[in-house]
């Protein structure tokens, strides 16, 4: 055991960062640097990183690499900002075996601690495929999503930035149709859904999620025929605003979509209730669309008719300039694929909708940072922002499938993946190195 004097000395030294020492500078040589806002690549750029942030970005000829810098050579790759999946469920993994892909069974069979561990693994798999931000929108047991976010932020494990909803709030029953004995005697709907059927219950449910570690609110607008009224959705929005949260609505009907749009919700998940009229309303109000467009290549998770509608709706939303996010709802196991490989497969639907690569990339980056509200903190490769970036082979502006070959990932200035191999050792710690107060 160390003496108190030694311990206090260590605390004092820790409070004086970099006294007499120079922070390590990392210099990245980018063969091409992709700017998703302008939809262009610039050759031969140097990116300097210090203390986990971008400090300088410039052309190789004009920006000198400081002496002593660690140089990372990505001169054969395209460097670009990290990707965003605006709708996933990292602590849910339903499967063919044993539950025939019915998540009602998954949540009975998989306890929250196991799901939290799955979430850590799924988070690393997503990060390896270039997703540096995930909006995790419920169905996570008893706050496994909050445990994941806190574990990553405190510095225990590597993973993407997590924007998490806690428990999905819905009218009685949530998305389930339980028997009276299971619902009333065994409370089976909880913790997958939080019942809120009155204004007082709505307020309390939002506060419960805020208390237990959510950072956004997710509601079931119309999971039951009665659903939430415009005024009830507005109550969610105003109560969430007190803690600085936005509200996403799970919407599956046109009436539900209309009420969510009238109420001025932040984002709408799923395309079932969306058509041209709804898209016009969303575009006028700047409501984000998280359409969760399952590709036909993920056999068993959509069908040809459903897929044709999905593609047509996405095309319509694109033409009407709805703020489009890239969102997957990829909460299942596809044998042979990582969670990240399943998520990136969704570019197939965007290709089928005829959306140009530059606009697919905007949805996956800039609009993703906007819906996640990280734009002033992380996302773009800009001086002062957190140093998150990825690098791929080829030029994704010419061939969007280049995003399938993520060779390099940096998170908060630390290398997570290099030469196509995860190298996460620096991210693991025996304690909360970023502070236990992060909740």
Interface residues with Zn ion (CB under 5 A) are 329
> Of 45 and 88, which CB lies nearer to Zn ion in the complex structure?
88
What is the nearest approach in angstroms of Zn ion to the Cβ of residue 91? 12
Identify which of residues 271 and 329 has a Cβ nearer to Zn ion in the complex.
329
- Judged by CB, which is closer to Zn ion: 115, or 407? 115
Q: Minimum CB separation from Zn ion for residue 274, in Å?
A: 15
| Least distance in angstroms from the C-beta of 44 to Zn ion | 42
Q: How far is the CB of 107 from Zn ion (least distance, A)?
A: 13
Sign of CA dihedral 414, 244, 136, 187: positive
Closer by beta carbon to Zn ion, 143 or else 408? 143
Nearer to Zn ion, 110 or 329 (CB): 329
Q: Which is nearer to Zn ion, 54 or 266 (CB)?
A: 266
Kindly give the residue spans of alpha helices, DSSP state H, lying in 228-364. Answer: 230-241, 254-263, 276-285, 304-319, 339-344, 347-352, 357-364
Structure tokens at 148: 């994941």
Tell how many helices (H) and how many strands (E) occur in the chain.
Answer: 14, 17
d(CA 150, CA 112): 15
Rounded least distance, CB 330 to Zn ion, Å? 9
Closest residue to Zn ion, Cβ-based?
Answer: 329
In this complex, which beta carbon is closest to Zn ion, that of residue 192 or of residue 329? 329
Q: Using the CB atoms, write b or e for 257-290: b if 16+ within 10 Å.
A: bbbbbebebbbbbbbbbbbeebbbbbbeeebbbb
CB 390 → Zn ion: shortest distance, Å? 24
Q: Would strands 217-220 and 247-250 be described as parallel, antiparallel, or unpaired?
A: parallel
| C-beta separation of 167 from 192 below 8 A | yes
Tell the smallest beta-carbon distance from residue 87 to Zn ion (Å): 6
User: Residue holding tokens 């990245």?
Assistant: 28
Q: CA-CA distances (angstroms) from residue 85 to 30, 326, 360?
A: 25, 6, 12
C-alpha dihedral sign at 403, 406, 408, 409? positive
């Amino acid at each position: 055991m160390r003496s108190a004097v030694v311990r206090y000395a260590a605390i004092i030294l820790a409070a004086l960062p970099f006294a007499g020492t120079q922070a390590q500078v990392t210099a990245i040589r980018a063969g091409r640097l992709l700017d998703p806002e302008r939809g262009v690549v610039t050759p031969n750029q140097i990116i300097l990183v210090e203390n986990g942030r971008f400090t300088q970005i410039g052309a190789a000829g004009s920006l000198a690499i400081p002496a002593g810098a660690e140089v990372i050579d990505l001169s054969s790759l395209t460097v670009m900002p990290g990707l965003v999946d605006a709708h996933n469920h990292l602590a849910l993994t339903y499967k063919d075996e044993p539950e025939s892909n019915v998540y009602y069974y998954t949540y009975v069979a998989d306890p929250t601690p196991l799901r939290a561990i799955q979430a850590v693994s799924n988070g690393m798999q997503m990060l390896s495929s270039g997703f540096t931000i995930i909006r995790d929108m419920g169905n996570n047991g008893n706050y496994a999503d909050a445990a994941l976010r806190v574990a990553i932020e405190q510095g225990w494990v590597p993973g993407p930035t997590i924007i998490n909803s806690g428990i999905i709030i819905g009218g009685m029953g949530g998305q389930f149709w339980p028997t009276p004995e299971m619902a009333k005697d065994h409370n089976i709907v909880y913790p997958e859904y939080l019942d809120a059927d009155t204004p007082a219950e709505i307020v309390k449910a939002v506060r419960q999620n805020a208390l237990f570690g959510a950072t956004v609110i997710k509601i079931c607008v119309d999971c039951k025929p009665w659903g939430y009224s415009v005024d009830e959705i507005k109550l969610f929005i105003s109560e969430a605003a007190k803690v600085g949260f936005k509200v996403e609505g799970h919407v599956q009907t046109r009436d539900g979509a209309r009420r969510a749009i009238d109420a001025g919700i932040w984002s709408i998940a799923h395309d079932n209730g969306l058509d041209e009229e709804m898209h016009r309303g969303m575009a006028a109000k700047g409501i984000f669309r998280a359409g969760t467009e399952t590709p036909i290549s993920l056999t068993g998770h959509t069908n040809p008719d459903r897929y044709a509608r999905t593609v047509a709706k996405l095309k319509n939303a694109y033409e009407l300039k709805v703020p489009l996010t890239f969102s997957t709802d990829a909460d299942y196991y596809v044998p042979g694929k990582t969670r990240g490989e399943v998520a990136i497969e969704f570019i197939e639907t965007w290709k089928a909708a005829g959306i140009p690569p530059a606009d697919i990339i905007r949805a996956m980056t800039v609009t993703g940072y906007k819906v996640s509200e990280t734009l002033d903190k992380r996302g773009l490769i800009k001086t002062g922002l957190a140093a998150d970036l990825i690098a791929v082979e080829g030029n994704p502006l010419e061939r969007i499938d280049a995003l399938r070959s993520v060779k390099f990932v940096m998170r908060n200035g630390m290398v997570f993946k290099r030469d196509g191999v995860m190298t996460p050792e620096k991210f693991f710690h025996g304690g909360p190195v970023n502070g236990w107060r992060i909740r």
